[in-house]
Structure 1
Amino acid sequence: MIILKIGGSILTNKDSSESEVDAGSLERIAREIKSSLDNSFKELIIVHGAGSFGHPPAKKYKIGEAFDKSEFPEKRIGFCETQNAVKKLNMHVCEAFIKEGLPVVAIPASSFMTATNKRITHGNLDSFKRYLDKGFIPVIYGDVVLDDELEICVISGDQLIQYLAVNLSPDEVILGTDVDGVYNKNPKTHDDAIFFDKFSSLEDLDTLEGTTNVDVTGGMVGKIKELLYLADLGIESKIINAEVENNIFKVLENEKVKGTIISRGN
């Protein structure tokens, strides 16, 4: 079993106020996944980010921040706008995958998960297991859910990865981002950025000045924290650049790809 995360920055222009899909990247990734599945059998779960679809409304309505009860009507609308936005992106993703012949089925987190203080505390994964058993590819994505303490909150794709991995024990976890892996600073704006081929400690986070966009879900540092938790359970992860052609195919086929391994091992 492989859990593959496709970052919102790959599928959309995350900094844009417009909700536009990067159709070229999406179609290419769909082809690479299909080629890998045609080449060798594997169970696959796909997680994708919210990108420019989900982040603007979540930020506008400050979803996940404490609020007065009098603000709840407006917060409800914000919840609905955010949920609807990420659902639209998921529709584009699933359409592209189905067109390529991939048997994907969307399973929104908001339909079966709840949280407490922004952390997932409940989510019955029986449907995931049943779809996998029947040869489907479950697709889940960053979403908004009910929260026992905050009423509503954002659940990132990276947190979904952790929850799924803890409960389903995959053989591999792969994150496709818009950079080659973890750097000590943003490699897009700093030529002297230092690349980490391996990351194994929370203490190492002190060496990071910020790598990619910091958004409502935590950016690269948030990803690393989620994956280090998995590393403590013996689940190794790899962060790669999904913008590089054939990287998704290669990593699914266990071929060598430049990236950062998140592991507690030596």
Structure 2
Amino acid sequence: MIILKIGGSILTEKDSNESEVDTKSLKRIASEIKASLDKSFKELIIVHGAGSFGHPPAKKYRIGEEFDKSEYPEKRIGFCETQNAVKKLNMYVCEAFIEEGLPVVAVPASSFMTATNKRITHGDLDQFKKYLNKGFIPVIYGDVVLDDELEICVISGDQLIQYLAMNLNPESVILGTDVDGVYNKNPKTHDDAMFFDKFSSIEDLDTLEGTTNIDVTGGMVGKIKELLYLADLGIESKIINAEVENNIYKVLENEKVKGTVISRGN
């Protein structure tokens, strides 16, 4: 089993207020996944980010922040707008994958997961297992869910990866982003940014100056923190650049791809 995360920045213009899909990238990634599955059998779960679809409404309504009861009607609308926005993106993703002949089925987090203070505390994965057993590819994505303490909150694709991996024990976890891996600075704005082949401890985060814009889901630092939890369980992860042609295919086939490995090993 492989859990593959496709970042929202790959599928959309994440910092844009316009909800537009990068159809060219989406089609290419779908074809690379199909080519890999045609070559060798593997169970696959796909997670994707919310990108420019989910982040603007989540930020506008401050989903996940504490509020008083007088704000609840507006917060409910914000929850609904955010949920609807990420479902729209998921529809585009699934449509492109189906056109490539991939048997994908959407499984929204908001339909079966709940959280406590922004952390997933319950999720029945029986349906995931049933879909996998019947040869489907479950697709889950960053979403809003009910929260026992905050009423509602955002659950990122990166947190979903951690929860799924902890409970399903995949062979590998792959994160496709818009950079080659982890740098001490944003490589898009700093020519002297230093690349990390590997991350193995929370202390390593002190060397980062901010690799990406921090959004409502935590940016690159948030990704690393989630993956370090998996490293403690012996599950290795790799962050790669999904914008580079054939990188998704290669990493699914366990071929050499530049990236940052998140692991506790030497």
Give the structure-1-normalised TM-score: 1.00
After TM superposition, the runs of 4+ consecutive aligned structure 1 residues lying more than 3 A away are none
Distance 2:15 2:60 in 1: 14
The equivalences for 1:159-178 within 5 A come to 159-178=159-178
Match of 1:95? 95
2:162 corresponds to 1:158: no
Deviation per residue, 1:158-188 (Å, 9 max, x gap): 0000000000000000000000000000000
Match of 2:22? 22
Q: CA deviation at 1:55?
A: 0.1
Q: What RMSD in Å do the two structures reach over aligned CA positions?
A: 0.3
Q: CA deviation at 1:42?
A: 0.1
Q: CA deviation at 1:213?
A: 2.2
Match of 2:206? 206
Q: Which amino acid aligns with 2:137?
A: I
Distance 1:48 1:213 in 2: 18
Match of 2:115? 115
Q: CA deviation at 1:214?
A: 1.1
Distance 1:102 1:212 in 2: 31
The equivalences for 1:47-196 within 5 A come to 47-196=47-196
Q: Which amino acid aligns with 1:159?
A: Q
Match of 1:234? 234
Distance 1:73 1:222 in 2: 30
Q: Which amino acid aligns with 1:96?
A: A
Give the structure-2-normalised TM-score: 1.00
Match of 1:13? 13
Query: Size of the alignment, in residue pairs?
Result: 266
Distance 1:34 1:19 in 2: 26
1:5 is paired with a residue whose SS is strand
Q: Which amino acid aligns with 1:209?
A: E
Q: Which amino acid aligns with 2:106?
A: A
Distance 2:108 2:185 in 1: 33
Distance 2:209 2:178 in 1: 17
Deviation per residue, 1:78-131 (Å, 9 max, x gap): 000000000000000000000000000000000000000000000000000000
Structure 1 unmatched ranges of 5 or more: none
Distance 2:213 2:144 in 1: 20
Structure 2 unmatched ranges of 5 or more: none
Q: CA deviation at 1:212?
A: 1.4
Q: Which amino acid aligns with 2:139?
A: V
Distance 1:211 1:89 in 2: 25
Distance 1:249 1:24 in 2: 16
Deviation per residue, 1:124-151 (Å, 9 max, x gap): 0000000000000000000000000000
Distance 2:118 2:174 in 1: 23
1:28 is paired with a residue whose SS is helix
Match of 2:261? 261
Deviation per residue, 1:192-221 (Å, 9 max, x gap): 000000000100100000111210000000
Distance 2:200 2:49 in 1: 24
1:239 is paired with a residue whose SS is strand
